[in-house]
Amino acid sequence: MSSLANWSYTATATIWRRIRDADGSDTDGGGQPYGWKAPVAFMMDYQGGLSAKIGDLGREIVVKNTIWTEYATAREGDYILIGASSASVPPEEADEIRQVIRFADTFERIADDFALITGV
């Protein structure tokens, strides 16, 4: 962990990564999900928020969190929970990661940073 991340990533999150095949698919030929890898806790920081979205049915409120971390293996479709958990599958309060954005470690070049964006 870079020295800058060491003082800024002070909260814990838990991630459940989907089991994927060699092609990156998380479902078998019949559309059934493969399941989940064991949960992993990692250090991070976060911000919660609401945004409005205009769709075909009118305006809706979309809840999403942005989680900043050096955890590099998160992917879209994985589930994340703010806090520690040892549950074997994502609990109901976990959120799906909808987007992963990578940022350079500008100062030390030790580990890139990532924004994990969730939504419902």
Domain positions in the chain are 3-118
Angle in degrees, CA 103, 109, 10, rounded to 5: 65
- pTM given for the model: 0.81
Q: In 3D, which of 90, 96, 3, 5 has the Cα closest to residue 42?
A: 5
pLDDT in tens, the chain (120 residues): 677 677 889 999 999 999 887 777 776 777 777 889 999 999 999 998 766 666 666 666 666 899 999 999 999 999 999 999 999 999 999 999 999 999 998 888 888 999 999 986
> What pLDDT, on a 0 to 100 scale, did the predictor assign at position 51?
66
Q: Are 66 and 116 in contact (CB under 8 A)?
A: yes
DSSP helix/strand/coil, 117: strand
The identity of residue 59, as a single letter, is: R
In the block, tokens 């030390």 appear at 108
Angle in degrees, CA 46, 94, 47, rounded to 5: 15
